[in-house]
Amino acid sequence: FPSTFRQAPITPLLKKPTLNSTLLENYRPVSLLPFIAKTLERAVFNQVSAFLTQNNFLDSKQSGFRSGHSSETALLSVVEALRLARVESKSSILILLDLSAAFDTVNHQILLSTLLTKGISGTALQWFEFHLSDRSFKVSWRGEVSKSHHLTTVVPQGSVLGPLLIQKHGFSYHCYADDTQLYLSFHPDDPTIAALISACLTDISCWMKDHHLQLNLAKTELLVVAANPSFYHNFTIQLGTSTITPSKTARNLGVMIDDQLTFLDHIVKIVQSCRFALFNIKKIRPFLSEHAVQLLVQALVLSRLDYCNALLAGLPASSIKPLQLIQKAAARLIFNEPKRIQVTPLFINLH
* CA proximity to 278, closest of 296, 255, 305: 296
Residue range 283-296, pLDDT digits in tens = 999 999 999 999 99
**Cross-strand partners of 304:** none
Residue range 237-254, pLDDT digits in tens = 877 778 888 889 999 989
Q: What is the pLDDT of residue 176?
A: 62
Strands of the chain (E only): list them: 7-14, 27-31, 91-97, 135-141, 144-145, 149-151, 174-176, 179-186, 221-225, 237-239, 242-244, 246-247, 249-252, 255-258
Q: What is the pLDDT of residue 179?
A: 73
pLDDT at 303 > cutoff 90: yes
- The DSSP output letter for 173 is S
Strands 7-14 and 135-141: parallel
Three-state DSSP class for residue 78: helix
Q: What is the pLDDT of residue 291?
A: 94
Neighbours of 225 (CB within 10 A): 25
Three-state DSSP class for residue 240: coil
Evaluate whether 301 touches 278 at the Cβ level (below 8 Å). yes
pLDDT at 36 > cutoff 80: yes
Q: How far is CA 24 from the centre of its chain?
A: 21
Higher pLDDT: 64 or 29? It is 29
Three-state DSSP class for residue 12: strand
Q: What is the pLDDT of residue 273?
A: 97
Residue range 266-276, pLDDT digits in tens = 999 999 999 99
Tell the burial category of 153 from Cβ atoms under 10 Å away from its Cβ (0-12, 13-18, 19+): middle
Distance CA 296, CA 290 (A): 10
Residue range 149-179, pLDDT digits in tens = 776 655 555 455 554 544 443 333 556 655 7
Mean pLDDT of 139-157: 73
Q: What is the pLDDT of residue 153?
A: 58
